[in-house]
Amino acid sequence: MAESFQIRGFRVWPGHLDRAAQEALVADIRAVAAAAPFVAPVTPGGKPMTVRMTGAGRLGWVTDRHGYRYEARHPSGVAWPPIPLSVLALWRDLTGLNREPDCCLVNFYGPQARMGLHQDKDEGDFSWPILSVSLGDDALFRIGGVDRAEGTQSVWLRSGDVVVFGGPARLAWHGVDRLRPGSSTLLPEGGRFNLTCRVVVP
């Protein structure tokens, strides 16, 4: 296991997952997506997002004309599949928490996808950390402060990197500016999966 470093209050484990562990997680993600297919989300303002999303756990994050929120069911009406054991093991190892996450949001980025700067504020309790796993092409991740006016810093997240955002970083502004298409051979179709595990219910 590589060492971790801290930047702006978040902790990064570069290359934490070896190739076999990454492939196992991708297989788990494909099983989740078979039960709960990726959707093309729309913001409450009606703007299509470039990222495709699905999820696992008791609750899933959704967005549509009715707003941003957590729901007990996938838009198709089926329950979200359980969070893969591989993901729960990572959560336990790196956060050291006994509490399991309620949600594992799965984002898929095609070569042109991005995610604008935002805060994650739809959870009922911000005292729990968020764990993020990157799989596939490199992504240029940008993080600022809790105040939007604070400056931002950029860091490339690569396949197998794991990040924990806790403490003050939990409410930091963040986003994904772009991918480096073709930078990873993990996904035959190209692009990037990102998993974020969240505690939603206090």
- Please tell me the distance from the alpha carbon of residue 165 to that of residue 53, in angstroms, as a whole number: 20
Phi, psi of 86, rounded to the nearest 5 degrees: -60, -35
Q: Which of 39, 62, 87, 130 binds ligand MD3 (CB under 6 A)?
A: 130
User: DSSP readout, 58-116?
Assistant: S-EEEEETTEEEEESB-TTSPBPPPPPHHHHHHHHHHH--SSPPSEEEEEEE-TT--EE
In the complex, the smallest distance separating the C-beta of residue 13 from ligand MD3, rounded to whole angstroms, is 13
Q: H-helix or E-strand containing 177?
A: strand 174-180
52 contributes a contact to ligand MD3 by CB under 6 A: no
Q: Which is nearer to ligand MD3, 86 or 152 (CB)?
A: 152
95 touches ligand MD3 (CB under 6 A): no
CB 198, min distance to ligand MD3, A: 8
Residue 83, token pair as written in the block: 């969070």
Q: How many residues bind ligand MD3 (CB under 6 A)?
A: 16
Of residues 84 and 113, the one with the C-beta less far from ligand MD3: 113
Binding part of the chain for ligand MD3, among 13-21, 25-33, 148-156, 163-171 by CB under 6 A, reads 163-171
**156's tokens:** 């490339």
Tell me the sheet residues that pair with 13: 162
Two tokens at 62?
């959704």
Q: Which is nearer to Fe ion, 25 or 105 (CB)?
A: 105
**In contact, 17 and 32? CB cutoff 8 Å:** no
- Given 102, 120, 137, 161, the residue binding Fe ion (CB under 5 A): 120
165-184 binders of ligand MD3 (CB under 6 A): 165, 169-170, 172, 174, 176
Residues found near ligand MD3 in the complex (CB under 6 A): 105, 107, 115, 120, 130, 132, 139, 163, 165, 169-170, 172, 174, 176, 194, 196
Site residues (vs Fe ion, CB under 5 A):
120
